[in-house]
Structure 1
C-alpha cells in the first residue's frame, strides 16, 4: 500500500484519487437531492401529503445531514477517514432500500406508514451525506493547504453537477419513459455511490492539517468560541436556510409558476450549470476580491434574485430565467467559500470547525429552510384561497393543520398552523384537466390516476391478493368527494385554485429574500472588521511530525481495518 505523498507539494496519484472520489460523494448527494425535489409531487399525489408534510420529510433529512457532520467531525481523526467512508457507503445503500419500501408499506399501513419510510429513508441518506462531508472538507483542506478556498469550491462543484444530473435523469425519463415509477428515477443515485466506494476502498488517508501540526482536541474546542468564528457559524445557518432550503423547493415552485415540468427542469439545469462552472474559477475571483467580499456580493445578488422571483412580472419563462440566473449567481459561492474562510482563518479548529459550520448549515436548512418554505407556501395559498374563493378552499383543504416546525410553538399567533391544500385532491383535479378537451368533454381512453388506482385495487382483490384496508378506504373517500364536490365545481374552481397556488409559491420566495439580505449585512460587518484589523489574511500552521513522516500523516484508511 502506498503512503500518502506530501500535500504541501503537487498531489500524487493517491491524493488525486481521494479528491475525485470525494467529488463523487457530492455528485451522489446532489443526484439524490435533485431527484427527490422533482418527485415531491409524486409523493404528494401518491400518498396524499400536504406541502408542509413534504417539507417535514425533506427537512428531516437535512437535519440528519447536519447531525452526522458534527458528530463525526469530533472523532474523524481518531476513528479514521477510511472507516467513516465505509459507514457512509452503508448508509447510502440502506437509504434506498427503506425509501423504496414506501409503496408496499402504504398498501399495508396507509399514509402514516409511507410517511415514516420516506422520512427514515431521507434520514439515512442524509446521515450518509453528512458522514462524507465530515471527511471530504478537511481532507481537501489538507491536500491543498495553500489554495483551500479555490479547491473547496472545485470540490463543491460536485453538488451542482449532481443536481444537474438528477434533473437530466428526470427529464430523460419524462421523454423516454414518462410512466416510469419514481423509485427508478431515484435509484440512479446509487451509481456514484458505487463509484466513490470503489475509488476509496483500501486507500490511505492523510490526517487533518490541525492534527498533523500537533493541535490537540482541547485547542480545537477552545478555537470554537472565537467571536468571529461564532459569527461565521451564525452566517452559515442563514446560508443553509436560503441555499438548501430554496433548492428543496425551487424545482417544484418553478413548475408551478411556468406550468410546465420541462421548462422547470431547463431552468433548474441552467442555474446549476452556472454554479458548476463558476466554482471551478473561484481561485481567480478570490484573487481579485477576498472571500468575504465575494460572499457580500453573492448575498446581494441572492437577495435581488429571490425578490424578483417573488414578483408577478416573472410569471413568464424569460423573466423567470433572468431572475433565476441572478439567484443562481448569488448562491454559487456561499457554502464552499464560507468553509474556505473558516479553514483559512481558523486552521486550529481543524475538521471540527469545518464540521460544525457545515452541520449548522444543514440543520438550519432541515429545521427551518425546507419546512419553512413549505409552510409559507401553504400559508399564503390558503390566505389567497380564503380571500378569493372560500368555498373552493373548503373543498380542497387538508384534513389536518400543519405549522412551521419549532416557531409555530414559540409564536403561534404569528405563525399559526394552517390546513393547506390537500395534494391528493389536487392530483385528481390536475388529472381531470388532462382527460377532458377544451369543451369539457371526456377524451376517449383517458383515465385519471384515481381511476387507475381503483381499477388496480379491484383487480388485486379479484385475484385474491392483499390490499391495505386504509388504502382502499382512502381511494373510495377520494372518489366520493370528487363525484360529490370536486367534479361538479371543477370549472368554478379551476382558475381560483391556480391563482391561490401560484400566489403561495411566489410569496414563499419573496419572504425568503429576507435571509440573504441579512447575510449581506453580516458580511459587510466582517469587511469592516477586517479593514480595521489589518485586512483579510490566511493563517497557516507549521507541521509538527516525526522525522521522515509524510506531511499530513497517513491513516491506513482500509475499510477492512
Structure 2
C-alpha cells in the first residue's frame, strides 16, 4: 500500500457517509411536508422511505460481490451518479411515484457507498478494524446532526424541503472530486490470499448466518425508530414549542460522541459484551420514550441513543474479525441485511401508526404505542446476544 493515501481515502469515505446520513436526516424531516403536499397516507410514506432501504440492500447485495471484480472506485462512482440523480429527481417530484423512484436511486447510492467503503477501510486498517470502522461510522450520526440542524435552520428561514435537498449537492460533489484523485488498494480478501470459494463458504457458516439474522433486528431497531421518531413524536414536541427534528439531532449527536470513543469501550467489554449491553439499553430507551412527554423525551432519547450507538459498526467489526474469509461480500451482506431490516420496518411502522390512530383517535397516543412495538426486537436481541457473549467467553 505504498502508493495508497490512506488519509485521503478515509476522509473521502467519511464525506460520502455524511451524504448518506444527510439523506436520512432530511427525509425524516420531510415526512410531514410530503404527507401534506401530496396528500399521502402514513403507509404510503412508509413505502417511500422504505424504498431507500430496499435500494441500499440491492446495492449491497450486488455491489459487494462486484467490489473485487470491477473495483471499489467504480462502485463509488455508481454511488455518486445515484446521489446526483436521486437528489435532482426528488427536488422536481410531483407525487408518490416520483418520490418512490428518486428515493430508490438515493438508496442505491447509499448502499454503493457502504459496499465500497467498508472493505476499503477494513483493508487499510487490518490491525484495528473495529476501532476504525467505529470511527468511520461516527460520520453517519454526525451527518444526521448536520442534516437535522440544516433542516431546522432552513425551516426557521422559511425555506422548504426542496432547498434542503438541493443543499446536499455540495458534499456530494466534494466526495466525487476527492475520490477522483485517489488510488484504491486491493481488498483484504485478495491481499490475504483467500479464494472466492473461501469467501462463499464463510458467508454460509453458522456464525455468519446468526450474525446476519441479528443484523436484521439491530438495524430495524436503530433505523426504523430513528426514521420515524420525528413524525411519531411530532405532537409531543409541538406542545413544548420544540421542532421534533431536534430530537433526531440529539440522538445522533450522542451516537457520534459514543462512536468516537469506541476503541476503549470495545476493548474493555469485548464486541459481544458491547452488543449485549446495547440491546438492553436500547429496549429501556424505547420504553422510556414511549411514555415521555415534552423535554423528558430528550432524556429518554439519550438512553435510546446510547443503546443503538455501537450496533452497526460493532456488528461489522465482529464479522470481519471473526470471519475474515467473508471479505467484502460478508460486509456487503451484513450491511444489505441491515438496511433490509430498515426497509421492512418503515411501512410496518406506518401501518401500525395508522391502525393505532384509527382506534385511539389521538396522534400522540398512536405514536407512543407504535414505538412500544419495537421493544419486542430488543428483547429478542438481548436473548441472542446473551448466547453470543457466553459462546465467546468459552473461547477465551
Instruction: Report the Cα offset of residue 73 of structure 1.
Output: 0.5
Unaligned runs of 5+ in 1: 7-11, 107-113, 386-499, 536-561
Match of 1:31 in 2: 22
Q: TM-score, normalised by structure 2?
A: 0.97
Which of 294, 298, 316 is residue 321 of structure 1 equivalent to? 298
| Equivalent in 57, 65, 68 of residue 59 of structure 2 | 68
2:145 is the counterpart of 1:154: no
> d(CA) in 1 for partners of 2:88 and 2:149?
23
Deviation at 1:263, TM superposition (A): 4.1
Separation of aligned partners in 1, 2:247 and 2:44: 25
For 1:360-439, what aligned pairs fall within 5 Å after superposition?
Answer: 360-366=337-343, 368-385=344-361
Deviations 1:146-173 (A, max 9, x none): 1111110111111111111111111111
Q: State the partner residue of 1:559.
A: none
How far off its partner does 1:320 sit?
1.0
CA distance in 1, matches of 2:165, 2:28: 10
C-alpha separation between the residues in 2 aligned to 1:527 and 1:248? Answer: 29
Q: Distance in 2 between matches of 1:160 and 1:101?
A: 27
CA shift at 1:359, angstroms?
A: 0.2
Aligned to 2:127, the other structure's residue is in SS state coil
Deviation track 1:233-291 (CA, whole Å, cap 9, x = no partner) reads 00000012111111111122232222257342332222111111110111011111100
Uncovered stretches (5+) of structure 2, i.e. residues with no partner = none
Q: Name the counterpart of 2:363.
A: 501
Does the CA-based 8 Å contact 1:171-1:262 persist in structure 2? Answer: no
Q: Say whether 1:235 aligns with 2:207.
A: no
The TM-score, its normalising length taken from structure 1, stands at 0.69
CA distance in 1, matches of 2:332, 2:38: 35
Residues 114-171 of structure 1 deviation map (CA, whole Å, 9 limit, x = unaligned): 1111000000001001111101101111111111111101111111111111111111
**Is the 2:279–2:378 contact (alpha carbons within 8 Å) kept by the matching residues of 1?**
yes
Q: Is the 8 A contact 1:63 1:364 kept in 2?
A: no
Q: Is the 8 A contact 1:51 1:377 kept in 2?
A: yes
**Matched residue, 1:407:** none
Give secondary structure in 2 for the equivalent of 1:259. helix
8 A contact 1:64–1:363 mirrored in 2: no
Q: CA–CA distance in 1 between the matches of 2:245 and 2:335?
A: 28
Q: Counterpart in 1 of 2:313?
A: 336
Alpha-carbon contact 1:21-1:200 (below 8 Å) kept: yes
**Separation of aligned partners in 2, 1:64 and 1:325:** 30
- Find 2:152's aligned residue among 155, 171, 180: 171
Q: Deviations over 1:274-313 (max 9, x none)?
A: 11111011101111110010011011000000011112xx
**Equivalent of 2:322, from 340, 345, 358?**
345
Aligned counterpart, 1:119: 100
Contact (CA 8 Å) 1:43, 1:49: kept in 2 or not? yes
2 CA distance for matches of 1:181 and 1:264? 16
Residue-pair matches, total? 395
Residue equivalent to 1:399: none
* Mapped partners of 1:238, 1:181: distance in 2: 34
How far residue 202 of structure 1 moved from its aligned partner, in angstroms, is 3.6
- CA-based RMSD of the aligned residues comes to 1.3
Alignment of 1:195-210 (within 5 A): 195-210=174-189
Q: Who is 1:530 aligned against? A: 392
2:133, 2:313 within 8 Å by CA — same for their partners in 1?
yes
Q: Give yes or no for contact 1:240–1:369 (8 Å, CA) kept in 2.
A: no
Question: Contact 1:148–1:344 at 8 Å: present in 2 too?
Answer: yes
Match of 1:128 among 94, 109, 117: 109
Instruction: State the shift of 1:54 in Å.
Output: 0.3
Match of 1:284 in 2: 264
Query: What is aligned with 1:512?
Result: 374
Partners of 1:184 and 1:339 lie apart in 2 by 34
* SS class of match (1:315): coil
CA deviation string 1:327-372 (max 9, x = no partner):
0000100000000000000110000001001101101211x21111
